[in-house]
Structure 1
């Protein structure tokens, strides 16, 4: 999360090219040609000791000999020379460099590692290696190897691949699509996709961001930046290499289902990004979101002048998982004079339909409640030409938008090129597509983007509110297994572990041999229950593969025989496998139960993943699954279930009642919590999980464990190193630390209670005690998305008044609305510097929808009345250097110390997060707030632009 040096990189006054040459086709010469062709108005400085001039430009032997310090240096030299050139650029004071050279190797011992160290030593931002440069058309900068100078526009393109960037730029050039900037980060020795997202999210010249990436190195940094960017503008992502073979074969069903492409897709969805599969889809999505605001619902009504073309669109909608809208009888009656045939969707206007008939059809459909969006398809005929029809459709749409706003979305198709019709649709703000398939895809892009935005706004708690697992017992089970050298828990330990999270499992008994297994089975058999016998071996994960499962055994003799056959078969197939015994279970009557699979898998990039799908031994073949990143709440879990095909079987059909979907969702939430609490649990599956109207029951479970090592995120390392350099202290970075050492180092700042502050009691919350926040945060480091920080919940006692203080959650929007409705308008003016009477959903969402990796807000609630008393927030910048705070407390409780206590808590959080300073703006007339700031050590200075405002700053 660092945007250092981006100004110099994207708006340089001068550019130096190290490795420039005269030879046509060389990288150094090609970049000079690109700079000139793009009309760059700054100084172009070739650097090469072998030339005095290059193409009429003075050439210099090295960077130190240049007449000025260039803002941007392009490096196109052999790999082994790159680190030295980067170091020279840093010593000269260069702000940014792009390494166009390739083959710099991997690891800190290779040239790429030496170049990275040299750049960080001098706070120089490094683009690449394997970059093809940067282009900012609006500033006439084309410091790249693109074949054509890109046009100016409002799309920012960020890619890891230079060839993909070239392809997108060429595609856009043919279609006259422009860019605010094109940035190729290559292999990201320094500047990466997350840094670029942070920059372009705040760039006023960028309307939408296009990403093309292959692999993410720092998942938490990427998702934090992506979530922040997606909150303010559309972000579309195209991932290459989606179907590459796995480096290691997964050992469980859930591991096999959690393939990298599916995990990336789940991560993109959770971050609010719109994932696309092709370049055409990327630009189609960009066009859709440019002209169409977000809308609720997913039911599409299709209108066409022909049954065939309408049916094609309906087929495409069904194939892509869309939902066709119904048409109510009243709406059909209103369409009677223009509707042909009996189809309710698509509505066929007939091949001879004239332009005014489109307007007649659209009027009742725009007013109908049974659809969420319309698609108007027109194939030009002699009776209705493209422009006439476009004008009729545009007029019908704008007639119901008298205020110029956008209500029900309308998409249009005009088959054949018609610039006149395109201009009409553009003026009306109606997305236009050349084919029915493109239009349906455009509609679904908008739907899925809105669904992704909904997921983005969810920030689940690290513990469900009414759920109290026995975490300590669960930890003890895992630690005992690890201490014993186990990598797989035995069946009884699996059941005990899942039991600590209240996940119901079918009871089982363990027996060391076949004879004792038969004895254990007898009481069940005597009650008329057939039994299942399962082999127990730490070396055999999939028991069915070796005949290690026998079902429906009805006598002791059957059990003995099955055990003997199992051992013989295993000895023949896997003679080295250890056999520790057998598990005996009573068979579960299937009845109307559906067979599902749930579990956890570990992704090398994004960490733990929650898996849900259709169960059984053929789960990989069926491949009906949906993935989610922890933390989950019930809504996210329900959405995950709904994305599978098996979800339809969970509904009622014929005489089969609906399964308890809420119970299934709760299991997913509990598994998510296991992933949060127990990072040592690397894989887990429950297969099958049986579900019916009465709830769920797990039949078989497996859990793989391994020691956990905490890794620093790249963002934290870069920020710490940057602050160390600024202070003149050499930085030393360890690759790994233990959670215990992190807790020791941070506990002093993480817990106000440890400093004896009378205003605070120790932290409260499930399983959280004094000194726990740092340990919990260390444990959560394996998660790609930081959960709701329950460890920062507090109870304050101010002048005998108990006040609950906790981090803000998304569901607090209603409480904030009520707070603003009742608060003194003068308090609002002092906080926001202007009178405010209306607080929109968008405004309140910004206060309550938080990315806890970047921001915190604490709300104070009266413990007796449950009324909101005030709130404080601080939001860190992209570099995590500074944070801007804001605070508002009800005037009727001022004087009890709530404002001071909230500010103290906010500063504690900022220190624990490593933020360098906290600052804010306070009206000069707000004497009480200024007094609180002075008491806390803030420095106050009058704002140079507005003397009525004081800027307060506290270095941490």
Structure 2
């Protein structure tokens, strides 16, 4: 379930309060009072099993005696009776319930399911949706709904706030009311037994009355559902969250460097980045960010200019910006000359731009205009501290028109109290963001930059990549099966090298020896010099126990090193079980940079890819970043950039940079391995040597998951199994799901289509499809939508796209809306029929209930195609379209 019946929960026509009471201070009394005080205009039916009157009005003894089925029931009764009440409400026809009761975690009977599970089982046959249990309820001020026991009402507004903490909800409501912050929805999830963050994001993401979505998160249950909903909502409006537990320990013990570095909070940050949301640290920052993102900023970059009438404010803002990793704009000579012309000689001549405490109104506006026009400035933070020279309100009136029409973000900071109240009010009235301190202004800019970085990650457009590398997956699975058959949790080095080779990752020749003599024999076969490494599941850091010997040039040196290693390991780690020795060819990369690349499994979000600085001190370095699998090339490059190693890898002091393409390819192959081989729990390549000639995996450790279920990727990987070939008009075509790197193909397809074909496809004349739309069409969520594209099955070079069919499902998979377009050269050859047949078959397998579409009345070919495919085709005169519908269930 997702958004089904949530309209009945948040905009009900009738409400029953189960457990309504006259007892002062009881939950039932508070809820009834709040509903009446909130202005609810629908039918309101108190239910009390002992009384026929509650709060001066009629009451009903039970659900069955109600005059009709309430759309929403608010349950305020003890936990033991909740499952039976839910079943009774379902039979009555109720579609939503808010369960305020706590204590549903206890079992119905000894050894039986919990009351919460029994409640869900009772609701399921009737598709009755449940908010809670153990929540304070929900408020929708615009609908007059206060179905909660919160101490007061909420003001109507355009922010939605969803929280897991009931205590925090009441405090936040009080805090927001004091500051005049209004809400479209204010929802407490409680235990999230049914309605959870994914459901709320789906519902609020398409709610026209909600401008931004604010979340207070303690935990996420269904990661894939959450990620799908978050990515969809974040494309429509800002989604900003605070998550508790930033410093909590990882959810599982890690055995590799990657596992240790990819802590649960680091992975959650990666999920936020991937989904286009914004994470902030405090509740105050949550509302600051909502204010900042409310104004449609034409984003250009991260270089900020500070304009101030006081040096202290400028320094504080610059410090806050630097501490947050922000960038001050460096003023060009041309910009300084323009500022010289409008400012007194005493101005700061640098950024921050201090125009002096005696600045008249004209000085503010002229300096602001110069900075807004400067090419090297991406945004401006305007700061004013009150003076006796000019009232702040006059300055606000002068700069407001400039900020309204600015072609770049301009934020304002009004320091002080009563002296700047009027200025703040005028900005608030216009919807322009303002802040009370320089630090908060700088933090707002950092939030803005982070938000647009995440949005860029959400909307990145890869170029056309060569056809995917196809790994030898069966070979890798065979290696894993051999290890699992003997309950070997850690692959030996030779097995690890075989898995790397199957996935095309360059490695050094490696062989496994049981003793010193075998090691010497293998070294002679590999060729000197060699490296010798101890192999033990209990030894993670081999160098720490003398478990690595390099540049061994003879059999005698190999034997001596092996004996010495056993002795040193026995002393340093007596519990370690030595399985033997890895013999490797020496890696000759004199200018190679030591990196780490690896995989870990997050218990919630599944496989993640780590990249960063490697070597023996890997865990002491902060130059690492993680990303959710699967990756594509832009996401892999983004991972490298976020690690902080970008400048190092580009080359320095005469050293050439590393082969970036090889590095990206390695990360993509690791990502594919993570999605293909979910038996792999952890994987380390450390060091991964990188230079101008490519990369080389020197030491690889792979741990298998021998027990427990694998955690699938939280973003569904590309479904290669859906690829197929078909013959149309004697030509072989490849029909496959669209990929992010098809954006350029899609752009060319639309660009080469006739104006009439584009009008019939989009119901309006279009010269081009914008970047954001191309990103949306090519970066689809395979769990919720599908697009099949057709392109020539053979040939050299990038193959052009010749047709597409797409279908977008609603969050409940009840209805999918389809669209189809065939290139002019392929029209009338049966390709459209083949595409529609394939999509209908896919949707039927996917469990979709019906597929619908619309076309213009003059698009007779589309209507005929739909009729041939079994669709019901009817004119819709009021919409000026023709409706097409096919039931699949």
TM-score between the two structures when normalised by the length of structure 1: 0.86
Deviations 1:677-731 (A, max 9, x none): 11111110111222233332222110011259878xxxxxxxxxxxxxxxxxxxx
Matched, 1:784 2:727: no
Q: Secondary structure at the match of 1:498?
A: helix
Matches of 2:693 and 2:823 in 1, distance apart? 48
1:834–1:912 Cα change, 3 Å: same
Structure 2: 5+ residue stretches without partners: none
Deviations 1:436-462 (A, max 9, x none): 111112112222111111211248899
- Once the two structures are superposed, the pairs formed by residues 713-724 of structure 1 within 5 Å of their partners are none
Residue 854 of structure 1 deviates from its aligned partner by 1.3
Matches of 2:593 and 2:106 in 1, distance apart? 49
1:900–1:335 Cα change, 3 Å: same
Matches of 2:658 and 2:825 in 1, distance apart? 51
Moved more, 650-659 or 554-563: 554-563
> Is the CA contact 1:148–1:173 (under 8 Å) kept in the aligned structure 2?
no
Matches of 1:844 and 1:566 in 2, distance apart? 58
Match of 1:253 in 2: 257
Matches of 1:233 and 1:361 in 2, distance apart? 33
> Is the CA contact 1:941–1:951 (under 8 Å) kept in the aligned structure 2?
yes
Deviations 1:736-794 (A, max 9, x none): xxxxxxxxxxxxxxxxxxxxxxxxxxxxxxxxxxxxxxxxxxxxx81111223333334
Matches of 1:870 and 1:895 in 2, distance apart? 12
Moved more, 945-954 or 554-563: 554-563
> Is the CA contact 2:372–2:407 (under 8 Å) kept in the aligned structure 1?
no
Deviations 1:443-483 (A, max 9, x none): 12222111111211248899973523222212221122112
Match of 1:730 in 2: none
Matches of 1:128 and 1:822 in 2, distance apart? 52
Q: Secondary structure at the match of 1:696?
A: strand
Match of 1:949 in 2: 882
Match of 1:238 in 2: 242
> Is the CA contact 2:463–2:744 (under 8 Å) kept in the aligned structure 1?
no
Match of 2:370 in 1: 364
Tell me how large the CA RMSD over aligned residues is: 2.8
Matches of 2:27 and 2:461 in 1, distance apart? 47
Match of 1:93 in 2: 93
Matches of 1:664 and 1:928 in 2, distance apart? 49
Matches of 1:190 and 1:932 in 2, distance apart? 41
Match of 1:761 in 2: none
Residue 672 of structure 1 deviates from its aligned partner by 0.4
Match of 1:194 in 2: 198
Structure 1: 5+ residue stretches without partners: 712-780
1:559–1:861 Cα change, 3 Å: closer
Match of 1:800 in 2: 730
Match of 1:437 in 2: 439
- Once the two structures are superposed, the pairs formed by residues 717-732 of structure 1 within 5 Å of their partners are none
Match of 1:687 in 2: 686
Residue 636 of structure 1 deviates from its aligned partner by 0.9
1:429–1:365 Cα change, 3 Å: farther
- Once the two structures are superposed, the pairs formed by residues 641-656 of structure 1 within 5 Å of their partners are 641-656=640-655
Match of 1:856 in 2: 786
Q: Determine which of 319, 326, 336 is the counterpart of 2:323.
A: 319
> Is the CA contact 1:937–1:954 (under 8 Å) kept in the aligned structure 2?
no
Deviations 1:593-632 (A, max 9, x none): 3322110000010100001122233433434321101111
1:866–1:633 Cα change, 3 Å: closer
Match of 2:421 in 1: 419
Residue 547 of structure 1 deviates from its aligned partner by 4.4
Match of 2:391 in 1: 385
Match of 1:48 in 2: 48
> Is the CA contact 2:136–2:166 (under 8 Å) kept in the aligned structure 1?
yes
Residue 836 of structure 1 deviates from its aligned partner by 4.0
Moved more, 548-557 or 252-261: 548-557
Match of 1:11 in 2: 11
Matches of 1:100 and 1:459 in 2, distance apart? 45
1:589–1:166 Cα change, 3 Å: farther
Residue 217 of structure 1 deviates from its aligned partner by 1.4
Moved more, 111-120 or 161-170: 161-170
Residue 272 of structure 1 deviates from its aligned partner by 0.9
Q: Determine which of 891, 894, 900 is the counterpart of 2:833.
A: 900
> Is the CA contact 2:589–2:691 (under 8 Å) kept in the aligned structure 1?
no
Matches of 2:269 and 2:466 in 1, distance apart? 25
> Is the CA contact 1:327–1:370 (under 8 Å) kept in the aligned structure 2?
yes
Moved more, 784-793 or 549-558: 549-558
Residue 229 of structure 1 deviates from its aligned partner by 0.8
Match of 1:567 in 2: 566
Match of 2:536 in 1: 537
Residue 572 of structure 1 deviates from its aligned partner by 5.5
Matches of 1:284 and 1:192 in 2, distance apart? 25
- Once the two structures are superposed, the pairs formed by residues 108-147 of structure 1 within 5 Å of their partners are 109-147=113-151
Match of 2:677 in 1: 678
Deviations 1:99-137 (A, max 9, x none): 111222279811111111111022111111122111100
Match of 1:625 in 2: 624
1:412–1:26 Cα change, 3 Å: same
Match of 2:33 in 1: 33
Matches of 1:543 and 1:895 in 2, distance apart? 67
Residue 561 of structure 1 deviates from its aligned partner by 4.9
> Is the CA contact 2:461–2:634 (under 8 Å) kept in the aligned structure 1?
no
Match of 1:299 in 2: 303
1:551–1:51 Cα change, 3 Å: farther
1:586–1:623 Cα change, 3 Å: same
Q: Determine which of 810, 816, 835 is the counterpart of 1:877.
A: 810
Matches of 1:897 and 1:156 in 2, distance apart? 48
1:616–1:867 Cα change, 3 Å: closer
Matches of 1:708 and 1:373 in 2, distance apart? 53
Matched, 1:353 2:359: yes
Match of 1:407 in 2: 407
Deviations 1:143-180 (A, max 9, x none): 11222211101111122221232233222112111111
> Is the CA contact 2:300–2:408 (under 8 Å) kept in the aligned structure 1?
no
Residue 556 of structure 1 deviates from its aligned partner by 5.8
> Is the CA contact 1:600–1:683 (under 8 Å) kept in the aligned structure 2?
yes
Matches of 1:247 and 1:709 in 2, distance apart? 15
Match of 1:637 in 2: 636
Matches of 2:314 and 2:64 in 1, distance apart? 67
Match of 1:662 in 2: 661
1:539–1:146 Cα change, 3 Å: same
Q: Secondary structure at the match of 1:45?
A: strand
> Is the CA contact 2:34–2:148 (under 8 Å) kept in the aligned structure 1?
yes
1:116–1:92 Cα change, 3 Å: same
Moved more, 103-112 or 454-463: 454-463
> Is the CA contact 1:106–1:113 (under 8 Å) kept in the aligned structure 2?
no
1:520–1:798 Cα change, 3 Å: closer
> Is the CA contact 1:464–1:633 (under 8 Å) kept in the aligned structure 2?
no
Match of 1:809 in 2: 739
Match of 1:269 in 2: 273
Number of residue equivalences: 878
Q: Secondary structure at the match of 2:340?
A: coil
TM-score between the two structures when normalised by the length of structure 2: 0.93
